[in-house]
Chain A
Amino acid sequence: MYVELHCHSAFSFLDGASLPEQLALTAANLGYPALALTDHNGIYGAMAFAQEAKSLGLQAITGAELTLLDGSHVTILAETPEGYANLCRLITEAHLGRADRRDPRLEFAALEARHEGLIVLSGCRDGLLPRLLRTEGRAAARACAERCRAVFGRENFFVELQRNYVRGDLALTRALTDLAHDARLGVVASGDVHYHSRERHRLHDVLVATRHRTTLDGAHGARRPNSEFSLRPLEEVAVLFRDCPDAVATAGVIAERCRAFDLTRDLGYGFPDFRGADRTPAPRALAELCRSRLEQRYARGSEHRSEAERRLEQELTLIEHHRLSGFFLVYHDLFDLAREVAADVRRGSRRATGNLLPGRGRGSSVSSIVCYLLGLSHIDPVANRLFLGRFLNETLASVPDIDLDFPREIREELIRRVYARYGAEHVGLVCSFPTYRLRSAVREIGKALDLPAGEIEQVAKLADSRSGSGLADELDQLPGFAGRRNAPLWKELCELAEEIAGLPRHVSQHVGGMIISSRPLVELVPLERAAMPDRVVCQWDKDSCDDARFVKIDFLALGMLSLVEECVELVARREGEPPDLSRIDFADQAVYDRICRGDTVGLFQIESRAQIQMLRRTRPRDLADLAVEVAIVRPGPIVGGAVNPYVRRREEQRRAREAGRPYEPPVDHPLLRDVLAETLGVILYQDQVLQVCQALAGFTAGQAEALRRAMSRRRSRELMAGFWEEFRSGAAARGVTERVAEKVFTQVIAFSEFGFPKSHAAAFGLLAYQSAWLRHYHPAEYYCALFNNQPMGFYSLDALGRDAKRNGIEIRLPDVNVSDVWCTVADEGKGRLKAGEGGRGAGVVRVGLAFIRDWSEETATAVVAERERGGPFRSVGDVVRRAPPQLKRPAIEHLVWVGGCDGFGLTRRELVWQVGLWLPPTAHPGDDARRRRQLELPLNHPFEHLRFGGLEAGERLLAEYAVLGFAASGHPLQLLRDALPAGVVSSDRLPGLQHGSGVEVAGLVVARQRPETAKGFIFVLLEDEAGMVNVIVRPDVYQRYRPAIRGEPLLWVRGKLAKDDGTVNLLAEEVRGLQCGMRSAECELEVWADNSALRTPHSAFAFLRSMRRVAPESKDWG
C-alpha cells in the first residue's frame, strides 16, 4: 500500500502551508497507514506530528529534506533509533557548519560518513539526481547513482519518482527509472506534498511570494505551476503511477521498515548526574544537605522548627518516590554555579557585599522547603504557609518546574557557563515558534496580493482581533472598509488570513528554557544557531520538549532584578555601603502609605492602571497583603468573581478591627473555612483551587493533579466539563448541595484562565515591596536604574520621567561634558531620605548620551572616553573635531537640539549652524572623517559667529521628544492649556468634582488596554501636566471613535466622572483626537480673531501639529 514519504508542513517555513496536525488528520482520513514528515533542514514539527499521528492510529515516520552544498536536496528518513540520532547530527551540522544561519547546507561527504540507520531518497525535482541530469547529463547522474549505491547500499538508497502534473514530469520519471535500472537501484513514488488539501495551494503561493519578498506576480517563476502538491487519495496515486506499480509498493515497504523507530517512545533522554554522584547515592546526598541546612535556618526550639522538620521529611519521601533526588541536586549545582557567576559579575563593585541573591525562584517551586533549603527559593514556605501540592504530590505526571529569575547580566553569563560545564553538545536553549496573528497576516498577505500599502497598514493598525481568523468581521467594523470583505483581493485576503492564523512564521528563542542532557543533545534533537550571537537553540519548542519528557531548566531574565542590582550599586557609591534588602523593615508604613495611595508607577508588579485602581481599594499593609495584590489582578480571580467580594470584605475587616471586633470572613461552605480564611473566603491563588477541590469534593492528589494539568494546557475548558461530574458527586458525598457545589466549581473553572500560585505571588510581592522601599528611600538611584534598564514595565520613559518629577527627582538632559554613557545620579539632592520625606530636591538624574537618537552605546562610550582623555570639550567645533568618526552629523545635531551643548554659551540654533559649517550633510561614507582631520587647526570659519535666537518652550519640548523619545522639561498640555476650550479641566481637579459630573479632559495617551476579561471595554490612560486620568470606553463608544482611540497620540475626552472607594475614572461618551482646526462645536481650540495663529510658527496649532508627529508611542496591551 502506498505511503507518502515526502511531505512538508508549515515548519518548512514559508514553503509548507499546513500544520503537521492537519496533514496527519488528512492522511488518516484518506486511509494512509503511515506518513513521513520531511521538512526542510529540520524536525521542528516532528514531535507534534508524532503525537497527533499516534492519537489517530497513523504511523509517523521522522525525516527531513536536507539541502546539500550545491543546493540540491535529499530526503532522509529515520529507520532506527541510531538512524534518528544520525539524522539529528546531520541536521545540526548543516546549521552549525555554515556562516549564514539562514542557509543551512550539508556536505555530501558528511552524509556518506554518517548514514547508519537512515534511508535516503534521491529527492524532488531539485534533488541530487534530477539536478545532475539537468546540468551535467546522464553519465554524471549515473555515476552519482552508482556511488550512492556503493556507499549507502541498495537497500538504503532509492530513486524518488514524483508526478505532480508538472510539464516534464513524465519524461523525468522515465529517465530516473532508466537510471535506477542501470545503477541497480530501487525506485519509490512520492508526492512532494506541501499542503494537506488542494485549496491550500493559494496560501502556498502567498508563502512563496513572501519568501521572495515580492508579490504573487513577482514570484511567478518561483511558485508551483498548479495545485497538485497535496495529499492524494490512494486510488489516484495508483493511477498516476500505473506504469510503475513497484514504485508505489516500495513506499509501503520502506514505511514498514521505519516502524523500528517511534519518536514518542525511543528517544532515550537522560538528565545529567549531580556532582558527587559517583560517591553518594542521590537520595542520601539530598537528605544530608537539606538536614544540615535546616539546622541553620530553623534553630532548635524556634517557632517553625517542628513543622519544618515534618515538611522536609514529607518532601524527601515524595522526591525519592518519584526518583527526583538527582534532579534537585543538579539544580543545586546550577544554583551554586549561579552564585559563582554572580560573584564574578559583581566583583569589584560596591554591591558585591550587599548580600544580593544571585537569582530568585518564582512559581510553585517557591512552596517547597527543599528548594528553600537548597537556596533555590528565598521565601520561607513554613512561615508563609505555602501549599506544597501544586509543586509536588504523589501522582506527579511530569518533572516539576523550577523557574529562576536572574538579572540580565548574570543570566547571560550563567548560560555561557552552563554550556562550558556540561559541554556544547549537551546543552541547548528551547526555541519558540511565533505564529501568524492578524497584523502579520494582513501585512504579508496584503503585500503578496499587491493591495495598497497604506490601506493594508491602516487595517493592520486599527483592527482589534488578535487572530487572523476574525478579519472579515473586522473589516466591516472599520470606517472606510465596510463592504470590502467581498471586494476582489480583499475577499482573498480575508480567506487566506483565516488559513494562515496559527501557522508558525519563524524560529525564535524561548524566554528562558534550557535543556541539559546526559547523552549528547545533538542526538535527540537538532541544534541550530539562534539570532543572538553565541546562542544555540534546539529545534523543539516548550510543548515538544514536554512531550519528549526533557527536563527544561528555566533561567529567566527579570528587568527588575537588573534594576535592583544597579540601584543597590548606586546607593553604595553614595553611602559607602549597599543596603541589605533581606534586612530592611518589611512593615514600614510610610512605604505602604504610598502604595495604598496608588503611587506605584515604576514599581514591580503593582504599577499598572488596573493595579493602581485595586490598590486604592484593597490598601495592602503587609507582605501577605501584597501577595494578594499581585495575585488578584489576573484573569483567574477576575473571571471567578473573586475581586469585588474580596474588596468588600477587606473593608468590613478594616471596620471590624477599628471597632475592636473579630472578623469572620463568610465562606460558601464551612468545609472551605481553613483553605480560604486568609483570602477572606474567596479563591485568589491557583493552589487554593486544588485545596478547595480536596476539601469540598474529596479530590485525591491524583485528581487534583489531573485538574491542574487540564487547567494549564490547551482545550482545558472541554476537560473541565468532565471534572464537574467528579466534583459534584464528591461534594454530595460530603453533604454539600449541588447549588453550592456548582457555585464553587464555577470559580474553580475560572482558573483555567490564568492565576498565580501563592508561592509565586509571595515571591513577587516581596520584590514589589523591595522596589517600593528602594524608590521611597533612594529615589534618585531608583529612577536612574529604572531609566537604564528599559524596556520594562507598564510605562514609557516619558511617563516615568514625569513620575520621577512628581517624586522630587529632576531629570536633566544629556550634556556632552557631564553625561556618562547611561544615566547617572548627580551629586546634588538629599541622598537617603528619612521616613516621610520626599518632594522637591530629592535628587537629580542626568540622562546618558546613549539615549540620544542615532547614538549607540559604542559611540557614547567613545565620546566619554575622549572627554576623559583630552579634557572637557570647549566648543561644538571641538566636539566635531574630537568625536569618533562613527558620530555622524545628524547625531551631533541631535545632541545640540536636546541641549547637550548648551554649556558652550550659544543658542542651539547657533550651535547647529556651526555644526553645519564644519560638516556637510551626510552623503558620502568616509567624508566626515576626512573633513574632520582637515579641522585640526582651529581656524575660524568666516560665518561662524552669526547670531540666531534661542528655542521657544514648545520647540524645546518637541526637540526632546524627537531626539530622546521623552521630554524632561515639561508636558505638552502645559503649552496647550490656555488654547483649550474653557470646559476642559486638568486631571488634578477631578478628585474634587462630584460623582456623575460631566467633564472634559485632554491628554497624551500613555497606555491603551483591552484585557480579554473586560468584555470589549477599552481602558485608556491619559496624562496631562497635572497627572493621569483613567478613561473607560464602552464597546459602543469604542466602535464610534475607534480610529481616534487607537491611532491618536493626544486625545480630548468628554464623559461622566465615576468615583468609587478612592478611585476616580472617566466613563467616556465622546473621544476625539486633539488636532488643529477641529470643527466640532464641542471641541475647538480657541482661535484668534484674525486666524493668524494658524500660520504662526509658535502658536498652539503649530505646536500641536508637530507634537502629533513626535509624540511617544503609547504602550498598548491586548
Chain B
Amino acid sequence: MWRINDEWWRQPIVRRYVEVVLEGGGRLVLFEDQITGEWWMQKP
C-alpha cells in the first residue's frame, strides 16, 4: 500500500493505493480517494 498527498495548493489529491493480485494472477492497482471516499481502479 502507498499514499499520495499532492497538489494541496490547487485541487488536493489525497489517495490511498493498493496493488492487488486477482485470482487469475492478474495485478490491479486500486485507489481510494480520501476526500470523497470513492474507490477507483487505475488504468495501466
Contact A165 B8 (CB under 8 A): no
Contact with A along B1-35 (1 / 0, CB 8 A): 11111101110000001000000000000000000
A791, chain B: closest CB distance, angstroms: 39
Contact among B6, B10, B17 with A167 in the assembled complex (CB-CB below 8 Å) = B17
Contact at B9–A226, with CB atoms within 8 Å?
Answer: no
Query: How far does the Cβ of B15 sit from chain A's closest Cβ, in whole Å?
Result: 9
Closest to A166 in B: B2
Per the 8 Å Cβ criterion, residues 210-247 of A in contact with B are 216, 223, 225-228
Chain A, Cβ-Cβ closest to B9: A492
The residue on B at minimum CB distance from A216 is B9
Q: Mark A163-206, 1 if CB is under 8 A from B, else 0.
A: 00111111000000000000000000000000000000110010
Q: B2–A165 contact, CB under 8 A?
A: yes
C-alpha gap A166/B4 in the complex (Å) = 8
CB distance from B11 to the nearest CB of A (A): 10
Q: In the assembled complex, which residues on chain A have CB atoms less than 8 Å from the CB atom of B10? A: 488
Bound: A259/B4 CA distance, A: 37
User: What 1/0 flags go to A578-606 for Cβ under 8 Å of B?
Assistant: 00000000000000000000000000000
Q: Is the CB of A169 within 8 A of B9?
A: no
CB distance from B32 to the nearest CB of A (A): 13
Would you call B9 and A201 a contact (CB within 8 A)? no
Q: Which residues of B contact A488 (CB under 8 A)?
A: 10
Residues of chain B contacted by A951 (CB below 8 angstroms): none
A786 to B5, CA, bound (A): 58
Contact: A165 with B3, CB < 8 Å? yes
Complex: A227 Cα to B8 Cα, angstroms: 11
Residue A383 CB within 8 A of the other chain: no
Residue in chain B with minimal CB distance to A223? B6
Is B6 within 8 A of A202, CB to CB?
A: no
Using CB atoms, name the residue of chain A closest to B19: A167
Our pick among A167, A168, A201, A449 for the contact of B5 (Cβ within 8 Å) is: A201
- Chain A residue with minimal CB distance to B2? A167
* Chain B residues whose C-beta falls within 8 Å of the C-beta of A201 in the assembled complex: 5
For B9, give its contact among A166, A225, A489 (CB under 8 Å).
A489
Distance (whole angstroms) from the CB of A1033 to the closest CB of chain B: 37
With A and B bound together, what is the CA distance between A971 and B2 in angstroms? 68
Q: How far is the CA of A216 from the CA of B9 in the complex (A)?
A: 9
Q: Are A225 and B6 in touch, CB under 8 angstroms?
A: yes
Residue of A nearest to B15 (CB): A226
A contact patch SS: loop
Q: Which of A202, A223, A226 contacts B3 (CB 8 A)?
A: A226
Question: Does the CB pair B4–A226 fall under 8 Å?
Answer: yes
Query: Can you name the residue of chain A whose Cβ is closest to the Cβ of B17?
Result: A167
Q: Which residues of A contact B9 (CB under 8 A)?
A: 202, 216, 449, 489, 492
CA distance A118 to B43 in the complex (A): 48
How many Å from the CB of A491 to the closest CB on chain B? 10
Task: Please report the C-alpha to C-alpha distance between residue A226 and residue B34 in the assembled complex, in whole angstroms.
Answer: 13
Closest residue on chain B to residue A205 by CB atoms: B8
B1 pairs with A165, CB closer than 8 A: yes
Distance from A204 Cβ to chain B, minimum over Cβ atoms (Å): 11
Q: How far is the CA of A227 from the CA of B2 in the complex (A)?
A: 11
Chain B minimum-CB-distance residue to A198: B5
B5, A169: Cβ atoms closer than 8 Å:
no
Q: What is the bound-complex CA distance between A166 and B2, given in angstroms? A: 5
Distance of B18 from chain A, by nearest CB (Å) = 11
Whether the pair B8, A202 counts as a contact (CB closer than 8 A) is: yes
> How far is B2's CA from A170's CA once the two chains are assembled, in angstroms?
9
Which A residues are in CB contact (< 8 Å) with B17?
Answer: 167
CB closest residue in chain A, given B8: A202
Nearest CB of chain A from residue B1's CB, rounded to whole Å: 7
Hey, which chain B residues are within 8 Å of A166, CB to CB?
2
In the complex the two chains form, is B8's CB within 8 Å of A225's CB? Answer: no
Of A168, A201, A227, A488, most B-chain CB atoms within 10 Å? A227
| Inter-chain contacts of A202 with B (CB < 8 A) | 8-9
- The distance from the CB of A432 to the nearest CB of chain B, in whole angstroms, is 32
For B8, the chain A residues whose CB sits under 8 A away are 202, 205, 492
Query: What B residues does A227 contact at CB under 8 A?
Result: 3, 5
Which B residue sits closest to A220, measured CB to CB? B6
CA distance A226 to B15 in the complex (A): 9
Residues of A within 8 A of B3 (CB): 165, 225-228
A476 to B9 alpha-carbon distance, docked (Å): 21
**B4 CB to nearest A CB, Å:** 5
Which chain B residues lie closer than 8 Å to A449 at the CB level?
9
Complex alpha-carbon distance, A205 and B4, angstroms: 13
Which residues of chain A come closer than 8 Å to B1, judged between CB atoms? 165, 170
Specify which chain A residues have a CB less than 8 angstroms from the CB of B4 in the assembled complex: 225-226
Q: Which residues of A contact B5 (CB under 8 A)?
A: 201, 225-228
Residues of A within 8 A of B6 (CB): 223, 225-226
How many Å lie between the Cα of A457 and that of B9 in the bound state?
20
Q: Within 8 Å CB of A492, what residues of B? A: 8-9
Instruction: Kindly state the separation between the CA atoms of A183 and B22 in the bound complex, as whole angstroms.
Output: 35
C-alpha gap A1015/B4 in the complex (Å): 48
CB distance from A519 to the nearest CB of B (A): 47
The answer for the CA separation of A457 and B40 in the assembled complex, in Å, is: 43
* Whole-angstrom CA separation of A201 from B9 in the bound complex: 12
List chain A residues, Cβ under 8 A from B2.
Answer: 165-169, 225-226
Considering only residues 138-177 of chain A, those with a C-beta below 8 Å from chain B are: 165-170
CB distance from B27 to the nearest CB of A (A): 13
Docked CA distance A698–B5 (Å): 62
Q: Which of A483-516 contact B (CB under 8 A)?
A: 488-489, 492
How many whole Å from B28's CB to the nearest CB in chain A? 15
A496 (CB) vs chain B CBs: closest residue: B9
Q: Which residues of chain A (643-693) have a CB below 8 Å from chain B?
A: none
Could you say which residues of chain B place their CB within 8 Å of the CB of A223? 6
Nearest chain B residue, comparing its CB with the CB of A225: B4
Q: How far is the CA of A76 from the CA of B36 in the complex (A)?
A: 43
State A165–B14 Cα separation when bound (angstroms). Answer: 13
Taking the closest CB of chain A, its distance from the CB of B41, in whole angstroms, is 16
| Cα–Cα, bound, A169→B1 (Å) | 9
How long is the Cα–Cα vector from A226 to B4 in the complex, in angstroms?
A: 5
The interface residues of chain B lying within 8 Å CB-to-CB of A228 are 3, 5
B2 to chain A, nearest CB (A): 4
Of chain B, the residue at the smallest CB distance from A492 is B9
| CB nearest to B1 among chain A residues | A165
Best-surrounded residue of B1, B5, B8, B17 (most CB of chain A within 10 A):
B5
Looking at the assembled complex, report how far the CB atom of A852 sits from the nearest CB atom of chain B, in whole angstroms.
Answer: 46
Q: CA–CA, A170 to B1, complex, Å? A: 8
Within 8 A of B (CB), among A75-133: none
Smallest CB–CB gap between A492 and chain B, Å?
5
CB distance from A198 to the nearest CB of B (A): 9
Q: Which of B2, B3, B17 has the most CB of A within 10 A?
A: B2
Chain B residues with CB under 8 Å of A168's CB are 2
Q: How far is the CA of A86 from the CA of B8 in the complex (A)?
A: 42
How far apart sit A216 and B2, CA to CA, in the bound complex (Å)?
21
A767 to B9, CA, bound (A): 55
Separation of A492 and B7 alpha carbons in the complex (Å): 12
Bound-state Cα–Cα, A168 to B2, Å: 8
Q: How far is the CA of A170 from the CA of B3 in the complex (A)?
A: 13
What residue in chain B is nearest A450 (Cβ atoms)? B9
A318 to chain B, nearest CB (A): 60
Complex CA–CA separation, A11 to B1 (angstroms)? 31
Residue of B nearest to A489 (CB): B9
Q: In the complex, what distance in Å separates the CA atom of A190 from the CA atom of B16?
A: 22
Q: Specify which chain B residues have a CB less than 8 angstroms from the CB of A170 in the assembled complex.
A: 1
Q: How far is the CA of A170 from the CA of B17 in the complex (A)?
A: 13
Question: In the complex, what distance in Å separates the CA atom of A223 from the CA atom of B4?
Answer: 11
A463 to B3, CA, bound (A): 39
Output the residue of B2, B3, B9 with the most chain A CB within 10 A.
Answer: B9
Cβ distance A664 to chain B, nearest Cβ, rounded Å: 69
User: Apart from A169-B2, A449-B9, what 9 extra A-B contacts exist at CB < 8 Å?
Assistant: A167-B2, A167-B17, A170-B1, A225-B2, A225-B6, A226-B3, A226-B4, A228-B5, A488-B10
Task: Provide 5 A-B residue pairs closer than 8 Å at the C-beta atoms, listed in order of the A residue.
Answer: A167-B17, A202-B8, A225-B6, A226-B2, A228-B5
Would you list the 7 A-B pairs with minimal beta carbon distance, nearest first?
A165-B3, A167-B2, A226-B3, A227-B5, A226-B5, A165-B2, A492-B9
